[in-house]
């Protein structure tokens, strides 16, 4: 049944924010004239606010993805990389969370959290979530974004939005493959795995001699293919594992670009294994075994 939700009247007590109607999240459009979203909150059950923008704080807060909002000050601190002693941020349900940064290393602590934001909280299809991960674990976002995010322009929602997307999703370019461009997955598991890859985690691959690519291969796994359940986690036919006659491993060459992807589910295989896609030759082989 079609449900009609009446939008609240336009707020006249606050100036409109200089935003566009650019959708940068999961399909929600922001109307700068009313300071509200034009489309319903996909997390309305959690937020209990169908169209409210940024906790109904359109001047002091931003909501880059339409599902989680932050006070501008908190966002600015995160995106500029400043080592602020503490700042407040809001979450979609209106709760407040005190974040304390403890040093230039970016190691963060939450204290005391009236509302928990989990590192594993998933908010796919938006770039800002990496900054959101910063809130839950300050170090991660900087690494995931390839460096501190661009500073948001004070008081400009549009600039903040651009910084959010530019500093996160757009900062991770896709990898060209013979089958097209492999894009970075934006789920939390794939994003977190970027830190492991950059830290020298071992990459694996198997194949068939004379048929499969070896050192020039572009698709790698973050776990050994000999691990039980590998085929199901990586969404490949079991025969691809049992028929393989070589196994190789290596590490990403320093500074080489890459993307991480959560393997899609296929049939009964749940997927979810972390794939690492690199340019040809960007894995420094450390092991090779045939037979």
Please identify which residue in 124, 166, 257, 280 interacts with other proteins, judged by CB under 8 A: 124
Give yes or no for residue 191 binding other proteins (CB under 8 A). Answer: no
Q: In 3-state terms, what secondary structure has residue 31?
A: strand
User: Is 268 a residue that touches other proteins (CB under 8 A)?
Assistant: yes
Q: Which stretch binds other proteins (CB under 8 A): 27-35, 38-46, 54-62, 220-228?
A: 220-228
CB of 256 to other proteins, least distance (A): 18
Asked if 155 interacts with other proteins (CB under 8 A), we say no
Q: CB under 8 Å, gap of 24 or more: what pairs does 225-232 form?
A: 230/273, 231/269, 232/268, 232/269, 232/270, 232/271
287 binds other proteins (CB under 8 A): no
Report how far Cα 181 is from the mean position of its chain's Cα atoms. Answer: 18
**Angle, CA 241 vertex, CA 239 and CA 245 arms, to 5°:** 110
**Segments of the chain assigned E as strands:** 30-31, 36-37, 61-62, 70-71, 86-90, 96-101, 108-110, 175-177, 180-182, 203-207, 219-221, 246-252, 258-262, 274-278, 283-290
Nearer to other proteins, 18 or 238 (CB): 238
- Tokens for 253? 């060459």
Q: Is 182 in the site for other proteins (CB under 8 A)?
A: yes
| Binding residues among 226-265 for other proteins as defined by CB under 8 A | 234-237, 239-240, 243, 261, 263-265
266 touches other proteins by CB under 8 A: yes
For binding to other proteins (CB under 8 A), which residues are involved? 124, 177-180, 182, 205-208, 211-212, 217-221, 225, 234-237, 239-240, 243, 261, 263-269, 271, 273, 275, 277
């Amino acid at each position: 049944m079609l449900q009609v939700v009446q939008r609240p009247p336009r707020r006249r007590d606050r100036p409109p924010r200089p935003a566009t109607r650019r959708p940068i999240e999961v399909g929600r459009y922001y109307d700068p004239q009313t300071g509200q979203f034009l489309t319903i909150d996909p997390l309305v059950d959690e937020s209990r606010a169908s169209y409210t923008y940024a906790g109904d704080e359109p001047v002091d807060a931003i909501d880059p993805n339409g599902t989680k909002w932050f006070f501008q000050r908190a966002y600015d601190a995160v995106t500029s990389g400043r080592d602020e002693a503490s700042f407040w941020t809001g979450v979609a349900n209106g709760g407040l969370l005190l974040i304390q940064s403890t040093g230039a290393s970016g190691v963060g602590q939450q204290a005391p959290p009236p509302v928990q934001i989990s590192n594993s909280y998933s908010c796919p299809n938006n770039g800002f979530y990496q900054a959101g991960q910063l809130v839950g674990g300050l170090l991660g976002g900087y690494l995931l974004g390839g460096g501190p995010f661009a500073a948001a322009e004070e008081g400009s929602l549009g600039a903040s939005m651009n910084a959010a997307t530019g500093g996160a999703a757009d900062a991770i370019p896709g990898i060209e493959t013979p089958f097209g461009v492999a894009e970075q997955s934006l789920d939390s598991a794939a994003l977190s795995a970027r830190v492991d890859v950059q830290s020298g985690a071992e990459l694996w691959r198997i194949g068939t001699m004379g048929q499969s690519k070896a050192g020039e291969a572009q698709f790698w796994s973050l776990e050994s293919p000999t691990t039980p359940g590998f085929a199901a986690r990586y969404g490949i036919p079991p025969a691809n594992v049992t028929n393989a006659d070589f196994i190789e491993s290596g590490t990403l060459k320093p500074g080489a670009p890459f993307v991480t992807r959560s393997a899609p589910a296929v049939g009964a295989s749940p997927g979810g294994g972390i794939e690492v896609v690199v340019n040809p030759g960007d894995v420094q082989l450390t092991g090779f075994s045939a037979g």
